[in-house]
Amino acid sequence: MSLDTVGIVALEILNSVTILVLLALGLALIFGMMRIVNLAQGEFFTAGAFTVLTAVRYAHLPLWAGMLLAPFVVAALGIAIERLIIRRLYGRPLDVMLATWGVSLLLIGLITVIFGAVTQGIPFALGNFRVGRYSYPEYRIVMTSVAAGLMLGVYLLFRYTAFGRRARATIANPEMASAAGINTPRMFMLTFGLGAGLAGAAGAIMAPIVGVVPTMGVLYIARAFITVVVGGPIVLLGTLSSASVLGVIEALISRFSLFKIGTAGHCAPPPCEISIGGSAFFGQIALLLFAIVLLRLLPQGLSGFWRQRE
């Protein structure tokens, strides 16, 4: 393999990991920490993308302003949903699932009514740079930087601030935290809002490379959940490591053929064979298969496994 191919494959891996981190980060808080199976998480992502679309197309703001706005708009949406619905259902996981599924359908419906069910696009500056024979979009590096920044920001927030300590205390033991004077309903609300805002940020940053359509969240929610579940109980590091492992698998299988099997029927040029691996289709399959096998072997996820070994 030539050096530029090594470079481009490394960039592809980085890209896969980036997308998984972006998708999973908000859910890591809502599902990983708060244990809320939020089936509307995909629509928070969609709402972020539509915020950018609205800002750019209708309010004629610059693209970066729309992207900065998106997490706040979606966080506000998340807080409203927490206040109105989720708050009444803490400790009732099945009801929460049903309710958030309803919220998901409602949001898809609302966005469809407002914007129409059409796919829309957000054009962006098309810079690219060379890696040997390849040229590669600069925007993907921007995405990686944003994902890293968000990850680090969330880590610092929960590790080193008073808010973070209170939020962790609330989630670890609500009664105790409440007895210690923490306003626990407020902490739940803010954490949920933060998780929603992070999904909004992800939708906003990915909006220019994907089609913006009311049902877009559905395409991403499964991968978001899988990443968080594989990550296990140490939420942030677990999510990061599971995004890394799954991203590497997805990117490598998407790129390289593993083996070939012969087929009958039309093909050109002969010999008639299809390769297993080497396309996005097999990348997705590999990601799902790997997650299933991994959860069979390590039911607690990656970080649960480390914790056991300590």
Query: Which stretches of the chain bind another protein, using CB under 8 A?
Result: 5, 8, 11-12, 15-16, 19, 112, 117-121, 123-124, 126, 128, 133-137, 139-140, 208-211, 213-215, 219, 251, 254-255, 265-266, 268-269, 275, 278-281, 283-284
Cα(193)–Cα(103) distance, integer angstroms = 15
- Whichever of 279 and 300 has its CB closer to another protein, that residue is 279
Query: To the nearest whole angstrom, how small is the minimum distance from the Cβ of residue 180 to another protein?
Result: 45
Q: Which two tokens stand for residue 140?
A: 């993907």
Comparing CB distances to another protein, the nearer of 181 and 270 is 270
Contact by Cβ (8 Å): 226, 288: yes
Contact between residue 202 and residue 146 where contact means Cβ atoms under 8 Å apart: no
Shortest Cβ 108–another protein spacing (Å): 9
CB of 104 to another protein, least distance (A): 14
In the complex, what is the shortest distance from the CB of residue 1 to another protein, in angstroms, rounded to a whole number?
11
Segments of the chain assigned E as strands: 128-131, 134-137, 257-262, 273-277
**Which pairing describes strands 257-262 and 128-131: parallel, antiparallel, or unpaired?**
unpaired
| Count of beta carbons in the 10 Å neighbourhood of residue 57 | 15
In the structure encoding, which two tokens stand for residue 8, read together?
């481009």
Choose between 109 and 299: whose C-beta lies nearer to another protein.
109
Nearer to another protein, 15 or 41 (CB): 15
Closer residue to another protein in complex, CB, 11/291:
11
Q: How far is the CB of 115 from another protein (least distance, A)?
A: 12
> Coil, strand or helix: which one is 275?
strand
Q: CB 278 → another protein: shortest distance, Å?
A: 7
The three-point CA angle 107-42-226 to 5° equals: 150
Chain centroid offset of residue 123 CA: 22
Q: Supply the minimum distance, in Å, between the C-beta of residue 274 and another protein.
A: 9
Cβ atoms of 201 and 21 within 8 Å: the answer is no
Number of Cβ atoms within 10 Å of the Cβ of 284 = 15
Q: Which is nearer to another protein, 80 or 117 (CB)?
A: 117
Q: Report residue 149 as tokens.
A: 């920044």
**Cβ closest to another protein, residue 29 vs residue 226:** 226
Q: Which of 124, 148, 150, 149 is CA-nearest to residue 137?
A: 124
Tell me how far apart the alpha carbons of residues 41 and 22 are, in angstroms, rounded to a whole number. Answer: 12
